Amino acid sequence: MTKYSNTIHIICSSARNGKQQRIVGKDAIVARLFSTIRIQSELSNSIIMLCTRSGVILDYIDEESNDNLNGSCIDLRELLVVCNDLTLFDDIPGYVLATSNEDELAEKTKKIMGYLKSLTDILASYSDQNQYLLDCFDAVKNSISIYDKNANLLFANKYFCNYLNIDDRTGVIGMNINDIIDNTGTKIHSIETNTSKLKMFDVLECGEEAIDWEVRIETSNGGAQLVGNDMYPVKDKDGTVEGMVEITHSRQQSLNVAKKYAGFSAEYTFANIIGTSNIMRESIRTAKNYSDSPFSILITGESGVGKELFAQSIHNYSSRSKGPFVALNCASFPENLIESELFGYVGGAFTGAASKGQIGKFELADGGTLFLDEIGELPYHFQSKLLRVLETWTVTRIGSSKQIPVNVRLVTATNRDLPKMVADGLFRQDLYYRLQVLNIDIPPLRDRREDILSISDELLKQAKDPNSLNAKTLSDDAKQILLNYDWPGNVRELRNVLYRATLLSKADIITANTIEASISASISDKRTSTQSRGVLDSSLSNDDRLEKRRQEIDEANANLIREALSISDGNRKNASALLDMSRNTFYRMLDKYNID
């Protein structure tokens, strides 16, 4: 044994305790140059070791061990404390040479260091010529990383380091991605599969790209964010996978693109609301006061009064005006689709689901306003799910268990009498109080008749023939008819009447007769709508009419069962007790209505 046996043992033990990484780029060139110079110089040494300043061993040799420690990482500062028979040379920027304490070896080492410094200066000059390309990658505000076929990191721009909270970029080059994640204390969780397995290993194995693979990244400093990954396999001329390029973009960028193409923006402002009546001015003043409040707003009013116009104006008057405005009519979707529309789903969550899943309206509205129109039409059994979201401000996509935080201002609207619906058991009381923290009631048109003519003038301008110089106007008798009519359909009905009148009138002045004819047509339309169900039913046979009513009863019973299960968190015994129903009867109804 030599006098350096203990030092050699410490070095080998320290290196074996760490994981080896691939030596790439400039480090690989320096390692090869040093090994060549060392061999040609015929160094007869006990210990000689070249490391990066972060402690990655690039070249190691001792006279007792044949271990290949290249790529292992050691703590140089700790090594110096423990091993006082080593000398460090740190004249080369970025590198450190450790040798045993021998005078002859020290002299030869200094000479080798001179050669190596000259060569690294040349490499640095060469690297400067390529630095522009690297700066270009750093200028991209997305994470860009390149890996070999074993998932060892070959390149990373600065945004990659930002995502994973990495301080020393050069220190992680050559490391396996799993080791990087472990060393930084980062947790990566797939939204798609609800696991921590990295999708990149599937890409490297199968050679198929993965686009917009969503994951949640949680760093050791407590930060968390949702990102989308685009992964592209790199293949040789024979089609063998040699590595992979990964581009990571923030979830907000993905949402912004989706919002851009879907047109999630608010068009109207308070300037578009026409009304000088005291009651309307008070409604506008209240809406402006509420605009920047974080609390939910419930807008009430009859059909056609302009509830969405108010909702858009509130959004544009608030500090969220630069965020998205996402609107959903709760009456427009079947009850089995409303959950997927609001919360989204992962790929394959149910039969017919898109393979890549779908982002829900809550996520799309993140940072902005979500407007739920006709909230009174929301299925009763779904109301508890919406309530949970409003209590936690997190959503869970269908088919996933991962909760996604959302920052959304909720505005709802209805023409229904929600307090009465609560009293009748058709709307949850706790949800009602959660929605109407702030309330704005928009008066019907018949209660602000002084606004009718000014609104009519604006609507006639909107209905102007593009080939005409001026909009059509109303005769005095026509104006009087508008003022005397009660407008059960409010502004929407007024707009339809005036649009119809502009088409019926051949002259530039719309007469009273034309207005009367247009109002009569409007009334006829409403009668047709309200009587359509009765006409349809009367055309059915008696047996068919009874069967239709039975189907309605079955649907109501199924909803009742689902709601009882929801209230009891799926406990069937408690659900049957809530309904004052025997367990046998309860289970028969579960089978009858195919409820899991």
Give the C-alpha separation, 576 to 595, whole Å. Answer: 14
Give the C-alpha separation, 419 to 427, whole Å. Answer: 8
The structure tokens listed for 234 are 């790199």
Predicted pLDDT at 430: 93
- Domain 5-134: CATH class, spelled out: alpha beta
Q: Which amino acid type is present at position 366?
A: D
Predicted pLDDT at 337: 82
Is residue 151 within 8 Å of 200, Cβ to Cβ? Answer: yes
Give the C-alpha separation, 120 to 84, whole Å. Answer: 29
pLDDT in tens, 395-409: 998 888 888 899 999
Predicted pLDDT at 494: 93
Give the torsion through C-alpha atoms of 443, 449, 450, 452, to 10 deg.
90
- Please determine whether the domains at 5-134 and 140-259 fall in the same fold group of CATH: yes
Give 11: exposed, middle or buried? Use CB within 10 Å, 0-12, 13-18, 19+. buried
Is residue 290 within 8 Å of 440, Cβ to Cβ? Answer: yes
Which residue ranges of the chain lie beneath pLDDT 50? 1, 259-262, 528-536, 538-539
pLDDT in tens, 13-56: 777 666 677 887 778 878 887 887 777 766 655 778 888 888 88
Predicted pLDDT at 44: 59
Q: What fold characterizes domain 445-538?
A: Helicase, Ruva Protein; domain 3 (1.10.8)
Predicted pLDDT at 536: 38
pTM over the 0.75 mark: no
Which residues sit opposite 227 in a β-bridge? 215, 250
Predicted pLDDT at 134: 73
Is 140-259 CATH 3.30.450.20? yes
Pick the CATH number of 263-441 from 1.10.1060.10, 3.30.56.10, 3.40.50.300, 3.30.9.10: 3.40.50.300
Q: What is the DSSP string of 58-126?
A: EEEEESS-----TT-B--HHHHHHH-TTEEEE--STTEEEEEES-HHHHHHHHHHHHHHHHHHHHHHHH
Q: How far is CA 96 from CA 108, 116, 206, in A?
A: 16, 12, 41
Q: Give the 3-state secondary structure of residue 329.
A: strand
Domain ranges of the chain: 5-134, 140-259, 263-441, 445-538, 542-592
